Structure formats: structure tokens, C-alpha cells
Structure 1
Amino acid sequence: MNLVEYNVVKKDWRNIPIKFALFYPNVYRVGMSCLAIHLLYELLNSRNDVLCERFFLDPNLPLTSIESKRYLKSFNIVGFSLQYELDYVNFIKALLESGIPPLSKDRGEGDPIICLGGPAITSNPEPLASFADVIFIGEVEDTLNKFLDAVIECEGRGRIELLENVSKIPGIYVPSLNNRVKRVWVEDLDNAHHALKQIIPACSSNSPFHPVLGKSFLLEVSRGCGFGCRFCLEGYNYLPMRFRSFENILAIVNEGLKFTPTNNLIIIGSAAFVHPRFKDILEYLYKCGFKFSIPSLRLDFVDEDVLKLLKLGGQRTPVFAPETASQRLLKIINKRFEEGILFDVAKLVKSVGFNNVKLYFMIGLPGESIEDIELVVDSLRKIADVGFSHPKSIRVSFSFFVPKPNTPFQWFGMDSKQSLKRKVKLIKDALHGDRRFDIRFPNLRESIIQAFISRSGPNITPVLLFVAKNGGSPSSWHAAEKFFKLSIEDMVVNQLDFKYSFPWDDVDIGYDKTLLANEYSKALSLIK
């Protein structure tokens, strides 16, 4: 299929030393809704000694670069952005299909340097340590130019010397050298580059290339989160919480919308609603005539003014993530809301004039009982009775709890498959036939695989390679279990001993890890 885009950069290959392939190992429409892709593309192409072209693993696109249709092996550096563990197999498949040896030990001087980065790999780089030459730990803005300078400096000296040099850069892990690494982050967001010339595809909304977040300018107003939800990877792996200044945000909007052909903005930041001038930002965007929305709000940080501004800005459906309706579970996960707040916010949403609301809940949280699931069902019915009477006016997206590295809940196991199925059935049976609800559940098997990868180390190298070589389908995972005599489901339900040595323990995450242990102990005491 033909893909036409605005703000694409095409450079002359003849005299540029670094040819960098930026690879998002999933479909285009998801990758182009990831701000990191826009940021990296702009940062890389801003250098005269670098050209950057994009790749996606998309059935509607050939496995060649978007910009020049070249194959992956034509580039001397390949950087993969890994946002989710389920993309790890896609990453390995991309190497196999491109004729690049997937294991770093098998690559030679004629092969590209394979780099990995992203939130999933920062929290635990070890499952892919055998595949990567270089892993970026943390936020890449301050590290990237140092890495590229080292590549230029080592030109013609060979892979080994290059890897030795880049291993000395803070925030870079070279698995073959087993160097100690500490997570790096941008201290002042106002000094961090923000992508201004964001790529927008020229396609209709029903095209497979239409971005998940629409043809929008992605506006980052904050980074990190300070609420401390004990299950949350982003909350712990992006500490400390930081804000862009109001003035910097306005400058980004004014400059970015000169170059990016859209009138829509998506406000990015896991806790953007906490920005001290959040309302001022919304008011400015509205006065400028922009359409805008925010992917998620917090129940105790929303009021009538915010909701009215979002409605004026064109947001059709406010989104909240209560996670559970149980006060007991809210204390366990450290996401504390006053009792009845969900019902009160639902009434407020309706009174402002919204006809729809979207809610995120989690199933299988540590200490969860059937009674807690029944509370979710009861709360959903009460919300519907506020006046959300239209078909599918309450959209509910459930996820399964998956223990994440470098969070207080890393010691907990998943709920059992049988228990999760029973809870899902309870919800489906209770709300069956009620047309007011649009209920979505994730694939349970995929969540189990995610948990397996998330808490593993280099020991799963042969498993990932086997699955990738066999296509990465669900059947290939079953075949891998049979071949390696594994039971992935049994492995992910185990609650780990407090003194368990995790594969990622050697990564300095940037704060004292006794924080995780203390928070885990608090959760345990509440469960018992």
C-alpha cells in the first residue's frame, strides 16, 4: 500500500557516516502514536553526520525503510524502541527476516550495531541481553549524542573498540562487557528537546496507517509520576516527576503547529493532570482554536472546570483508571481514593454534558477476592444509573495484573489462570445483555507470556529465539513449552521469596531499592 507522509526527512546517503535505522517492532499506526519515535527521528536527523530512516513490522508494509526502501542490513546502526515485552519476539523476528544474526556473539564487522531502548527494556534489560550490542537504560536525550559522537570517533576501528568506548557512557549497558549501568534521566524538561516537526500520514481514518491517537500533535507536558502505585512500572522507572514550564509548553505548541499539519493535540504525561498550570494549558489551547484531549485523568484530580475545558476542546470521552472498586485493594496497591469518588465523578461527567465515559480496571491484583470483583460490577451498575443510558456509553477495559520489574509488586505472582477465568466469567455473566456497557478483556495467554518475559533473565534466550524462528504465534509458544519442558503458567504465579535475586538487580535504577522492599512489606501487611 502507498504511504504518504508530511515532515519526512530524506538525506543523501553518499557522504553521511552514520546510517541509523529506527525500528518500531509493531504496526505503523501504533508506532506513529509513540512520541519517542518522533523525538528520536528528529534528534537523529538534526545531525549532519547522521541519517535516520524508520522501519515497522507491519503486514501492510515491506521490511524496508519508509524513506528510501532500503533493507535493514544497509544501515550501520539499528535502534529498536521497545515499549512492551510482547514486542520482544517481533524484534528478534525482524533481525531474522533481515538476515542479521540475532545473537550479538554471532555478529561480525559487516553487521549493524543493534541498540535497544524504551521503558520495558530499562526496567529489565536481561531477557534481551544476548541479542543486543547496546542497551540504553533510562531517558535517551542526554545519552544519544554522546553515543553518536563515540561512533564517529571509533569509525574504522571495529566493533569491539566501539563497544568498549560506548560502555563508558552513563546510561549505556553493553551486555557482552557486563558493565555496571545506572539509569539516566533528563533533570530539566525545559532543556530537553521536544519533537516539533511530527510526522503525519496523509490517509483517511479507515486506513491501516491512521495512527491510534489520530493525526495529532503529541504534546508532552510532564514526565514521571509521584503517586507511587505499587504495581506501576512507569511510576517507579520514570522517577522523579518533572514538569515542563507553562512558557516552554506554549512555545512548543506555537512552534510545533507551524510545522505539523494538524489542529489536534494529545496531552502526554502519565500524570499530566497534576501540572501546576494544567487548567491554564487547556484554556490556552482552547483560545487558540485547537482540538485537544488527554488519554487519562485521575479521579481525585478532576473538577468541573477541567471537564468543561476538555469538552470545549473536543474530547468525547473522559478516561479514568480506578483499577478497583474495593477500598481494601486500593490501600494494598497504594492508589487511595475516597469511598464513592467514582460515583461522584461519574455524576460530574454526566452533568457537564458527556454522554460517554471510559474506565480501566485491573483483575488479579494481590489479595483480590471474588467479593472485590463483585464490588466492581456493583459500581459499574451504579455509574450507569447516573444517566449513561445509551448503548456502549460506558466503556470498560480490563487488564490482568502482571508483576513488573523494579516495582514493589515484583515479588508477587500473577493470579492463577483458573481464578482469572472465573473472575472474567463473573463480570461477563453479571453484565450480559446490559447494552449500556462495552466491556473489553485482554488475551489471558498474552498476559501470562508478558509476565514470563517481564521477570526473566538471559535464561530465556533460547525460548525467545525458538518462538521467533517459529513465527511468534500462540502455537509457537506452546511448541516452545513442549520443546523446553516448561510450564509458563506455573512459573508466573509463584510469589518470590523476599531475598530472591532478580536478573535486573545489577541495574542501578537511580534510587535506593529498599524503597521497593518497604512498599512491598506494607502491601503484604495489608493483605495478611
Structure 2
Amino acid sequence: MIWSTLAKRSDVDVRRIFTDQKDNSHKNCDLFGLSLSWELDGPILLDLLEKQGIPLWNNQRQENDPLVFGGGPVLTANPEPLAPFLDVVLLGDGENLLPTFINAVKEFQDLPRKEKLQNLAQIPGVYIPELYVPQYTDNGKLKAITPVNNKIPNTIIKQTWKQNTLSHSSVITPDAAWPNIYMVETVRSCPELCRFCLASYLTLPFRTASLEDGLIPAIEKGLMATQRIGLLGASVTQHPQFSELLTWLSQDRFDDIRLSISSVRAGTVNGEMTKILSNRACKSITIAIESGSERMRKVVNKKLTEEEIFMAAKYALEGGLKNLKLYGMVGLPTEEIEDVEATADLLLRLKRKTPGLRLTLGVSTFVPKAHTPFQWYGVRKEADKRLKLLAKKLKPNGINFRPESYGWSVIQALISRSDRRLAPVIALVRGSQNTLGGWKKAYKSISENDHYKLNDNTNNMAMLPSWDEVIHEDWDFSKALPWEHLQGAIKPELLMQHHQQSIDEASAMNPKT
């Protein structure tokens, strides 16, 4: 969407950089930007800047250097770890925000760099990190992040696209992560509000693309280039006209297409749906169950019953699908070993009930995300052992078990919960040192050695907090959060209420009582 939006403008010359190819330097451009969808991609920004000959740190750039900007869910949630490398952060949906930003850059292009940034800071959704200063207590705790003067807004508000047309692919290539697939965004956000979910809380409200004005024209456009169509969204089948869309796709003229859909809600799966999907060369559906434990599903606000899970599997098998993919988590707040065993038990019973249906369970470790009710919880150290427990119970019984690395989940949490003090660590760890051991070594080096702080002009910062404090500790509501100056879709007071509701659910259904 970003590239196509810019490429359509006659007053903008936009180029793309591919990390696996050698590109000519783009140092002389006006803007240099990227979108981040995953925390672990953060160090890539520094690699790109270095290859282009652009100074890594925003306070080292001169008048003739491009403005380095970023966006996407990671930076919208918590840009602070990467803030010292960015001149501009665009918070929220890009449909309106990106054109507004480009127009402003053109309007202010003749101003000195500092004045240009001061003016850009007045645009809703545009965050200029160097115009905000972290404040620390005497014992090194983050106290607040405040503007440098009273002309700069105290709070930056995430921008939300509220129209009924969403994004779709602009480039189709066999070299993409999903080769030759034309992606059509069907819904944005999710109405279910699982308490750990960034995709739901950060991107509210739940929006659906118009069937007649959005989805059908987009799919027809895609079919002019490829026979593979992918329907995207956190909960695609909750589109109010999803059944009508499938009926439209079941026409004879679409017999040769191959249809793929992202995660579906189990309660929306039915026999007609799975039959149409199977007839369109779709081999599997994906359901996020989070846990086989009813107690844990209530704690995380997963409105899903065991009966719905079994019925979805039944419909998948009867409709002709070959695979059912399920996603879950370990290390969720208040989780006990009995809850993990309940997940294994559910999968084993599901396999017995649906012979011939290949079951895959992908499991990740809970990682706290900014702007969600679970942002105050830390990563639980016992999650690693619980991943191994599931593997021991499921793999020998013919269930394809795909755990996400516990170690990399820890690094995700480090990035998602940190403030600007992590920036020197990211600078040190990039490139060949971007390994689990490299992260720990870099964190220790920065903690013990002021040399890096002085070199990177961050010597006014407090010392790094302990590794455990950032990653594993549960935080009190009174703790200042690195993203408090950024306003998401839900106010902190309501997030606290949802957090407390999870505690109440856990107490009401404690397996130990």
C-alpha cells in the first residue's frame, strides 16, 4: 500500500530497496523510510542506513541527509527503542497519514532541517522523536517522555482509516514470501479483543471492506495477473458478507483459481464454507485457539468453546480440506501446568475424532505488547519447558508441532517493552551479531560500558534497567511506560479495567481450588 500510494503521485519519485540485492545508493533522496511489522526486523533499519551511507543516529544527520521515517504496527505500538535512529514516525493507518505527510514535506522542503521537523510535529499522527526527551528518576527509572517546548504536542494520536476500502497487493512476484499471490485485505482489526492481541487493540475499530466497492473489484483486478488469491485479516470470516463473497467466488468462471485465507474464527466455520474453499484449491484453514484450557481462554477473553473447535475440525474434514492449523500460546498470565496439559489433551482428542485430517499446532510464548491489557505482564521463564512438554506429548502421536523459539520471543519482549536506552544495544547487535547470544552480550556490554553511550550521544540517559526487569517482571500500573505519550485506540484506564477482568477470571476458575 505504501509503495503504490507514492508511485501513483506524479510529484514523487519512489524507489524500493531489496535487502537480498545490491542497490545503488539512495543517500541523496529527500526521504528514506520503511515499515516494520515484527520487532526482530528492527536492526534491519540500521543495516539499510549503513549501506546507503546515511548516518545511523538522527542527531548526526546534516541538512543534506534525507529524513528517515518509519511506520507499521511495531513503530505505532512502541517506537522508542528505534527512536534515536528515526527522524519521523508515522503512527497508525497510512491511507490518509502518508499523503498528508508527503504534502507537508513538500511544503516545508526549503526550511532548515530543524524547522522542518518542528512543523511536521504539528501534523496529527506524526511523531518527531528528537523533539521529545525522556525524563528519569534519580534511581534510573523512566518518569516520562515530554516535548522539548510548549509548541510541541504532549501526546501524539494514532491515525485511523475509517473508509470501506482496504489495501491489496500492488506487486506480484514468484520471489515474494507468498509467491504469485494477490493479497486482498478483507477486514482490519478484530472485534474479539483477546487481551494479549496487538492486532486487535492497536488497530481498533474493526473495519470491513465493502463487498461491491472493495473486495470484488480488488479480486477481479488480481485475477488479471494471477490465479492465486489470498484473503487477509485477523478474523476474515467475521466479515458480515463473507458468505456472499464465497458464493460469488463459487461461480464456474472461478474454477481455476486457488484461494487462501488467513486465520478464521472457529464459530464461523460451516460445511458450505469448507466445501467452497476446497473446490477453490484451498487445502487448509487456520484457527487460533490460544489454549486447550477453558479457564485460560476466559482469562485471555477468547470467546471460543471446545465444541466450536471440534465442529470446525469436523466441517474441515467433511468439506474436503486436508489440513487444520491451530495456533496457541504458552506462558500466558496465570497459566498453570494443568492448562498446558489441557492443550495437549484437546489436540489428541481432536485427532481421534477427525481421522484423515492433518493437524498442525503452532505455539508461541506469550510476549507482552504495548497498548494491550497484558502489557503489564512479563514473559514467564517456565514457558520454554512448557513448549518442550507439548512437543513430548504431541509429536509421537502424529501431530505436527511447530513451536516458536522461546529465545527469540524473549528478544521480541525486550524490544516491545524497552525505551530509548535500548538503541545502543540495537546498534551494537546488528548484522552478523544478530543472534540470541549476540543480544545478551550487547546488552551486557552497554550496561557495563559507558563508551557506547558517549559515542552515540546518549550519555544523558540513565543506565539500562536489568534484563529481567524489562523482559520477565510484571509491572505495576504506577510504572511509567515508554509509550505513554502515544495515544492508541483504547485509553489506559480501560486497558487497566480489561487487565483486572483477566485477574478476576483467573481467580474465579483457579485450577488449584
TM-score exceeds 0.5: yes
Aligned equivalent of 2:277, options 310, 329, 332: 310
Secondary structure in 1 aligned to 2:353? coil
Counterpart CA distance in 1 for 2:168 and 2:310 is: 38
CA contact (8 A) 1:449 1:488 kept: no
Aligned equivalent of 2:479, options 492, 495, 500: 500
Aligned equivalent of 1:88, options 42, 55, 62: 42
1:445 equivalent in alignment to 2:399: no
1:358 equivalent in alignment to 2:325: yes
Aligned equivalent of 1:188, options 163, 187, 190: 163
Aligned partner of 2:364 in structure 1 is 399
Secondary structure in 2 aligned to 1:75? coil
Counterpart CA distance in 2 for 1:45 and 1:481 is: 40
* Structure 1: unaligned runs, 5 residues or longer: 1-38, 65-69, 204-208
Instruction: Quote how far apart the aligned CAs of 1:491 are.
Output: 3.3
CA contact (8 A) 1:448 1:488 kept: no
1:443-471 CA-to-partner distances (Å, cap 9, x unmatched) read 11111010011011112121111212663
1:253 equivalent in alignment to 2:242: no
Aligned partner of 1:57 in structure 2 is 19
Secondary structure in 2 aligned to 1:318? strand
Counterpart CA distance in 2 for 1:361 and 1:228 is: 16
1:347 equivalent in alignment to 2:314: yes
Instruction: Quote how far apart the aligned CAs of 1:361 are.
Output: 1.0
1:98 equivalent in alignment to 2:60: no
| Counterpart amino acid of residue 171 in structure 2 | I
Counterpart CA distance in 2 for 1:99 and 1:471 is: 20
* Structure 2: unaligned runs, 5 residues or longer: 133-152, 448-463, 508-513
Aligned partner of 2:445 in structure 1 is 483
Secondary structure in 2 aligned to 1:254? helix
TM-score scaled by structure 1? Answer: 0.84
Cα distance change, pair 471–94 in 1 and its aligned pair in 2 (3 A)? farther
Query: Where do 1:28-427 residues align within 5 Å?
Result: 39-58=1-20, 61-62=21-22, 64=23, 70-178=24-132, 179=153, 180-190=155-165, 194-195=167-168, 198-201=170-173, 203=174, 209=175, 211-248=176-213, 249-258=215-224, 261-287=225-251, 288-289=253-254, 290-389=257-356, 393-416=358-381, 419-427=382-390
1:433 equivalent in alignment to 2:396: yes
CA contact (8 A) 2:418 2:470 kept: no
Counterpart CA distance in 2 for 1:432 and 1:166 is: 54
Counterpart CA distance in 1 for 2:197 and 2:243 is: 26
Cα distance change, pair 395–159 in 1 and its aligned pair in 2 (3 A)? same
Cα distance change, pair 432–185 in 1 and its aligned pair in 2 (3 A)? closer
Counterpart CA distance in 1 for 2:302 and 2:234 is: 14
CA contact (8 A) 1:93 1:471 kept: no
1:517 equivalent in alignment to 2:459: no
CA contact (8 A) 1:224 1:242 kept: yes
CA contact (8 A) 1:42 1:195 kept: no
Counterpart CA distance in 1 for 2:218 and 2:385 is: 48
CA contact (8 A) 1:322 1:361 kept: yes
Counterpart CA distance in 1 for 2:202 and 2:35 is: 16
Secondary structure in 1 aligned to 2:85? coil
Aligned partner of 2:458 in structure 1 is none
Aligned equivalent of 2:419, options 451, 454, 457: 457
- Deviates further, 110-119 or 151-160: 151-160
Cα distance change, pair 195–337 in 1 and its aligned pair in 2 (3 A)? closer
CA contact (8 A) 1:363 1:398 kept: yes
| Corresponding residue pairs, total | 465
| Counterpart amino acid of residue 236 in structure 1 | Y
Counterpart CA distance in 1 for 2:490 and 2:506 is: 26
Instruction: Quote how far apart the aligned CAs of 1:475 are.
Output: 3.2
Instruction: Quote how far apart the aligned CAs of 1:489 are.
Output: 4.7
1:299-348 CA-to-partner distances (Å, cap 9, x unmatched) read 11211111112111211011111010101001100002223332232222
Instruction: Quote how far apart the aligned CAs of 1:281 are.
Output: 0.8
Cα distance change, pair 468–262 in 1 and its aligned pair in 2 (3 A)? same
CA contact (8 A) 1:77 1:112 kept: yes
CA contact (8 A) 2:363 2:387 kept: no
Secondary structure in 1 aligned to 2:430? helix
Counterpart CA distance in 2 for 1:276 and 1:317 is: 22
1:362-388 CA-to-partner distances (Å, cap 9, x unmatched) read 111111111111111111111111233
Alpha-carbon RMSD across the aligned residues, in angstroms, is 1.8
Secondary structure in 2 aligned to 1:87? helix
Secondary structure in 2 aligned to 1:414? coil
TM-score scaled by structure 2? Answer: 0.87
